[in-house]
Homo-oligomer: A and B are copies of this chain.
Amino acid sequence: MEILNEQQTVSSVSVITSEALMDHWQGHRRLTRRTIEAFPEEHFYTFSIGGMRSFAELIMELIGIAAPGVRGAVTGNWQTDEGLSLDHSSIAPATKGEMLVLWDKVTDQMNEIWPAMKPERFQEVDSAFGMYENSVINSVLYFIDNEIHHRGQAYVYLRALGVEPPAFWDR
Contact = CB atoms under 8 A, between A and B. Distances in A.
Interface of A: 3, 6, 10, 12-18, 20-21, 24, 28, 49-52, 119-120, 122-123, 132, 137-138, 141-142, 145-146, 148-153, 155-162, 168-169
Report the copy number of this chain in the oligomer.
2
Contacts of A157: 156
Contacts of A20: 137
B120 A12 contact: yes
What secondary structure prevails in chain A residues at the interface with B?
Answer: helix
A159 B50 contact: yes
A24 B141 contact: yes
Given A28-B145, A49-B156, 12 more contacts: A12-B119, A14-B15, A15-B15, A15-B17, A16-B122, A16-B141, A24-B141, A50-B156, A146-B168, A148-B148, A148-B149, A153-B156
